[in-house]
A and B are shown apart, each in its own frame.
Chain A
């Protein structure tokens, strides 16, 4: 009983609230319009800049055939292309200098090279001497050419023990062996 009474009261309250809210909004919607608004709007429209209009050719200069249009289009293309070519021939494009900006190492607390420098490998490979072709006029020069003498290969002395058979034949002993004795 109490709840139904409370509901009916709250329902009535809701209706009153709805009605009062809509009444306020209707009051706003029905506020009087200021006088002379139409005149001000019309004056504003007359002073507003008009949109661009398309100008028509006079009737005597109306292009009747399509060749006039083609000629006009060709003239426009010629002027544009000629202007572009003229600019291209006169103006030299400046070459931008290439600047390589190296990043600053170590400034931001990152890794650094610790002063290490890269050393390129300097090993030079064997150079093959080109054989000189003998010229008929240079025959004498060829004879006088320095001949490179290849040094003898050192061979370690080999000690061979003497036997009795070899004792009598001392001459056959290698001189180096004799000197060693």
Chain B
């Protein structure tokens, strides 16, 4: 029986797409998870966001060849997904997330007191981050990722590089004011 040439082409194309997708998953799943976790602060939700990101890639796999920078493209997808989820899931109070995350973060000290103080400091910093305006907060959070340059942050957020710089400057100043103000109150 003769196998049509179009069927062979389809099979080869499907296999190539699957191989490309597997390579993308193994290369960028970790980075995408960390970006998702920094916003959602929940491991299961962050993993779901990564899964959804690659499902979107699978749906639009025909356009994969046209993408210039796949890493930034993927981070942009996951960023939009996590922001959308965060916007929809407003039922959970932010304080729960902050306290949970502060417990997870590593601390410099070894004694129980130092660990508790470190967790308290992290929780305080994260609470101040939540008080920042959305635009400044997003830039500050993305700037914490060492893999992302200013140009890449601008591409993820869809703004210019100069806007990224000015927003980052404002965010750092606001953070410093918030932390100093809370220290003086104590």
Contacts and interface: CB of A to CB of B under 8 A. Distances in A.
A115 B84 CA distance: 63
Given A29-B146, A48-B58, A18 B172 contact: yes
Nearest to B62: A51
Contacts of A37: 29-30, 33, 47, 50
Interface in B119-137: 121-122, 125-126, 128-129
Nearest to A46: B18
A41 B25 contact: yes
B22 interface: yes
SS of B interface (majority): helix
Interface string B124-168: 011011000000000011011110000000000000000000000
Nearest to B26: A38
Interface residues of A, number: 32
B4 A42 contact: no
A29 B51 contact: no
Interface in B90-116: 101, 104-106
Contact of B175 (A18, A30, A56): A18
Contact of B34 (A15, A20, A33): A33
A25 B129 contact: yes
B29 A28 contact: no
B44 to A, nearest CB: 10
B81 to A, nearest CB: 14
B6 interface: yes
B7 A41 contact: no
A17 interface: yes
Contact of B180 (A10, A29, A41, A53): A10
Given A13-B180, A24-B122, A31-B104, A38 B34 contact: no
B140 A25 contact: yes
Given A21-B125, A30-B34, 10 more contacts: A20-B121, A22-B144, A22-B172, A25-B125, A28-B144, A29-B34, A31-B34, A31-B105, A37-B29, A42-B22
17 contacts: A17-B176, A17-B179, A21-B172, A21-B176, A25-B125, A27-B122, A28-B34, A28-B38, A30-B34, A31-B104, A34-B43, A38-B26, A41-B47, A45-B54, A48-B55, A48-B58, A58-B4
Of all A-B residue pairs in the complex, the 6 with the closest CB atoms, nearest first, are A25-B144, A17-B179, A14-B176, A33-B30, A24-B125, A17-B176
